[in-house]
Structure 1
């Protein structure tokens, strides 16, 4: 009777692990989509962002791909009741969890000097005023409807003799400059504030997704270890 109950318990865990991994595979796709969406959103402004700002969504995409792959490893190990497969699955999840925690800690540490780094990057780009920088600024100002670092006056401050870019105008068109300094016709918001909000919004979304996937990974590790333990006990009793 006891053996039968243990068998039923192991069978229940097995199918629960299998179902969990199907959900886990779907969550992997969701993580990839979330990372890709955030990267696409802030990737257009990579000229002004340090590599470490772009790293978290890239890591999330990679983690999502790995999660999707190892979810099938967990499914196979559960259905076949393969002890080694389940242990490999648990170790793989643990490694991913550690990497995500490391990236999260690094992002939290960098968050303290993020604003200063962004401000310096924007100012340096405006001072350089190369064609690449001009194109990047026009794309930034057009998309976020902003002008200058903190205001339109920054163009005269950091890049003397430069005409106000056309993208500073609310009614911008295919021309080289804004051709006006009337406050009512120029974007009032500085690009530093607009870009900072955009990046922090993406970071908040990443943190939410990261925490959610971390809990799923912990649950997966526990369930896989329980099933592996049950399988090992069953093999020893034979």
Structure 2
């Protein structure tokens, strides 16, 4: 009987370490994207302008990079918690890891459901503030913001916020590559919504994959903690809160 428990412990430890290695990779990728958005000059220019707007929604957009960086750090901490709990055979850390995963899964599900419910209102949240930023930049001849917006137009294959008529009062600035190529290009607000809608299945599939990985990690951590508690093998007995200190049962 002890041999069976030992094999089970080793298997669950290996599975947890593998799953948390995936979490580490995901966390590092999220950190990288967040840092890139923060340091890239075009993103930084647009986001800094958005952050100065008075509305709560636009300020939220201004903290996009910080949210991604924070999410990456949080995910990395959770992954390390699972790794340490598995390596040190510490039931306290494994149970803490499980509780955090449960809370995280609930938050992810609620966030995705809210995104589906309110996706029709997404455009109205940023279209007018984005137009106000462009109009202010055109009026004040803010070349930094205008050039950043032109980069956005070229990347998204759009012209203006609504359409090319946004440059009617300032035709000298309606000279981005995309606006010159196609005056009838759709507005950038619609292009952003189209991009979001197009990638929604990918986002949903990715979230589903993450939830499955989290669920497997949750089940694995609970099973491992249970096996550790019941195993008569001294190598797999830990004192909760003892940070991996092994004790021998009599």
**Residue 45 and residue 215 in structure 1: after superposition, are their counterparts in 2 closer, same or farther (change >3 A)?**
farther
CA contact (8 A) 1:74 1:85 kept: yes
**1:225 matched residue in structure 2:** 222
Write the distance in 2 (CA, Å) between the matches of 1:167 and 1:105: 39
Write the distance in 1 (CA, Å) between the matches of 2:171 and 2:190: 19
Write the distance in 1 (CA, Å) between the matches of 2:26 and 2:176: 43
CA contact (8 A) 2:98 2:218 kept: yes
**Residue 82 and residue 101 in structure 1: after superposition, are their counterparts in 2 closer, same or farther (change >3 A)?**
same
TM-score of the pair, normalised by structure 1: 0.71
The C-alpha deviation readout for 1:88-140, integer Å capped at 9, x for no partner, is 11122223323333433343333121122333224434554553876434421
**1:155 matched residue in structure 2:** 167
Whether 2:73 is the aligned partner of 1:65: answer yes
Write the distance in 2 (CA, Å) between the matches of 1:9 and 1:42: 49
93-102 or 27-36, larger mean C-alpha shift = 27-36
**Residue 69 and residue 142 in structure 1: after superposition, are their counterparts in 2 closer, same or farther (change >3 A)?**
closer
1:21-100 maps to which residues of 2 (within 5 A)?
A: 21-33=20-32, 45-46=46-47, 47=49, 50-53=58-61, 58-100=66-108
TM-score of the pair, normalised by structure 2: 0.68
CA contact (8 A) 2:153 2:160 kept: no
CA contact (8 A) 2:2 2:231 kept: no
Q: Which runs of 5+ in 1 are unaligned?
A: 157-161, 172-182
Whether 2:190 is the aligned partner of 1:188: answer no
Write the distance in 2 (CA, Å) between the matches of 1:168 and 1:121: 22
Write the distance in 1 (CA, Å) between the matches of 2:220 and 2:174: 55
Write the distance in 2 (CA, Å) between the matches of 1:88 and 1:110: 33
Displacement after TM superposition at 1:219 (Å): 1.2
CA contact (8 A) 2:85 2:94 kept: yes
Q: Which runs of 5+ in 2 are unaligned?
A: 51-56, 238-248
**2:242 matched residue in structure 1:** none
Displacement after TM superposition at 1:87 (Å): 0.6
**2:140 matched residue in structure 1:** 131
Count of residue correspondences = 221
Write the distance in 1 (CA, Å) between the matches of 2:131 and 2:14: 58
**Residue 24 and residue 163 in structure 1: after superposition, are their counterparts in 2 closer, same or farther (change >3 A)?**
closer
**1:144 matched residue in structure 2:** 153
The C-alpha deviation readout for 1:206-234, integer Å capped at 9, x for no partner, is 54443332221111111000000111122
